[in-house]
Structure 1
Amino acid sequence: MGYRTNELGYPNDLLASRSIVERGNFALIPPQGLVKNVLPNFENCEMTILATPKLGAAFVDYLCRVLPGGGNKKGFGGNGIETFIYCLEGELTVTIGAETYELTTGGYAYCPPTESLKFENKSNEKTETFLYKKRYQEAEGYAPYPVTGNTNEMDYQDYEGMTDVGLKDLLPTDLNFDMNFHILKFETGASHGYIETHYQEHGALMLEGEGLYNLDNHWLPVREGDYVFMGAYNLQAGYSVGRKGALTYLYSKDCNRDVEL
């Protein structure tokens, strides 16, 4: 199995972790302790499974390190499952249906539930990616479609009237989509305008910086590389407090649909 951080051998100190897991509510999972998984169809990929229904999420998040020549040529998702891939570092060739896209660092692709997402690392270096899948919630008269882009080519928009908090929407905000991905950036000292409590879930990967995050009124330190799951109605808000620049993270949110009974 092995650890994602490749920290092998005898421990140098007492066993300890910053991980906190409250199933169905929230979780903070740092890189240390994450393991590699071997999954069908992911060839030469070091897979790490993050949020799942066992944690309480209605989606699945992964970290996927695609080694040179590796990828998923058979397809990921489809048959009612929508997927999303974000290139954290490196290069990746992505195929959705008959179309092929070249992703570099900051690049992403959304694949609708009618297609499967295929990808391959044709470079000589490893490529770090973030993967997501969820069963699409249909709505009469609406249908999603492939979307690609690169966050490095997008401008931040002021978030809820605050000039030191920026937001990037990675997908269109129309009703064809039942979810979205965003990047949220807090300059040092910035925070949410209030503590949120809502029905939507989030899976968030810290991309840069350091901060404090309120998870169900537990103020916890977070930093680059940490993964945070926020379940429905979990109290949540963040501050950027580190000395390494802005706190920036990538996160998903279900949206645009009524509650099913």
Structure 2
Amino acid sequence: MSPTYYAPHGGHPGQDQLLTGRAIFTEAYAVIPRGVMRDIVTSFLPGWEGTRLWVIARPLSGFAETFSQYIMEVQPGGGSDAPESDPEAQGVLFLTEGTAGLTVNGQTHTLTPGGYAYLPPSSGWTLRNPGPDTLRFHWIRKAYQPALGLDAPEVLILNEQDIAPNVMPDTNGAWATTRFVDPNDLRHDMHVTIVTFQPGGVIPFLETHVMEHGLYVLEGKAVYKLNDDWVEVEAGDFMWLRAFCPQACYAGGPGPFRYLLYKDVNRHMPLRPFGR
């Protein structure tokens, strides 16, 4: 069965709806459910035509420290010839709906759902929606941290559906990770992967580690352990976990539970936090 990729479409709830929802914001984690991604909470960016976006993570005291994440919505003909304003920012694009024309290093690539692009700093990329349908994609940004003796990574243009997932040991295929970057390639200081749990699959212990996480649920539903709480999540929800926040997962089905995962990797821990 082909994978599916949930994307928000906005809109606005009626006056007859209850106020109670699943949104949670704590010092250890946050849950931004799909039901809050409405027209009223969209943003706009200079230099982008026919485009709005949902900002679901940004560097902020008590929230994301290492990355920002947008869900971009680009109308036919829209896009940008100068999308990235920060010369130190690297980016990952992951396509969920529509078609993107991504031009980088003088070559135009067509991205379709499941499409992935890694864009190193100052790569001068541009993007347009050449198709008749609305384009929706994730844009994850992180300031690149150079490492002594290592060059910056090159551009990568891939598609999830062309990559065999890596199955976790002793899980009989119930837990797998689709990796777009070789984990042994230390040039990369962030990984964006897709994690898949089949019905009944679990993270069988409370993971507690240094990596900050952003998790956007692409498909299915599950119960996720976040610090002290078990939280129900479904396709379209976003979770942020600060470093060392305990986490576990149980995927009850009926179909696969899949999420797009960001984490920071492969660099020394800063000894002077917050720029001091």
Flag whether TM exceeds 0.5 (same fold): yes
Q: Look up the SS of the partner of 1:237 in the other structure.
A: strand
Q: Which residue of 2 aligns with 1:28?
A: 31
2:56 pairs, out of 50, 55, 80, with 50
Q: Distance in 1 between matches of 2:55 and 2:229?
A: 24
Q: Look up the SS of the partner of 1:32 in the other structure.
A: helix
Displacement, 1:164?
1.1
Does residue 38 (structure 1) correspond to residue 48 (structure 2)? The answer is no
Higher strand share: 1
Displacement, 1:106?
0.3
Whether the 8 Å CA contact 1:88–1:105 is kept in 2: the answer is yes
1:209 pairs, out of 220, 230, 235, with 220
Number of equivalent positions: 256
Q: Which residue of 2 aligns with 1:199?
A: 210
The one-letter amino acid of 1:164's match is A
1:12 pairs, out of 16, 36, 61, with 16
Displacement, 1:97?
3.0
The one-letter amino acid of 1:114's match is S
Q: Look up the SS of the partner of 1:15 in the other structure.
A: coil
Displacement, 1:138?
1.0
Seen in structure 2, the aligned counterparts of structure 1 residues 18 and 79 have a Cα distance that, compared at 3 Å, is same
CA deviation string 1:62-110 (max 9, x = no partner): 1001110111211325511111111011110112232321101100101
Q: Distance in 2 between matches of 1:221 and 1:248?
A: 14
Q: Distance in 1 between matches of 2:11 and 2:121?
A: 34
Does residue 158 (structure 1) correspond to residue 167 (structure 2)? The answer is yes
Query: Equivalent residues in 2 for 1:57-76 (5 A)?
Result: 57-76=65-84
The one-letter amino acid of 1:191's match is V
Q: Distance in 2 between matches of 1:124 and 1:190?
A: 38
Q: Distance in 1 between matches of 2:182 and 2:74?
A: 28
Q: Distance in 1 between matches of 2:81 and 2:201?
A: 42
Alignment gaps of 5+ in structure 2: 1-7, 272-276
The one-letter amino acid of 1:254's match is D
TM-score, reference length from structure 1 = 0.93
Displacement, 1:4?
5.4
Displacement, 1:242?
3.1
TM-score, reference length from structure 2 = 0.88
Does residue 181 (structure 1) correspond to residue 192 (structure 2)? The answer is yes
The percentage of counterpart residues that share the same residue type is: 30
Q: Which residue of 2 aligns with 1:125?
A: 133
Q: Distance in 2 between matches of 1:17 and 1:161?
A: 37
Q: Distance in 2 between matches of 1:77 and 1:258?
A: 26
Cα RMSD between the aligned structures?
A: 1.6
Does residue 144 (structure 1) correspond to residue 149 (structure 2)? The answer is no
Whether the 8 Å CA contact 2:64–2:240 is kept in 1: the answer is no
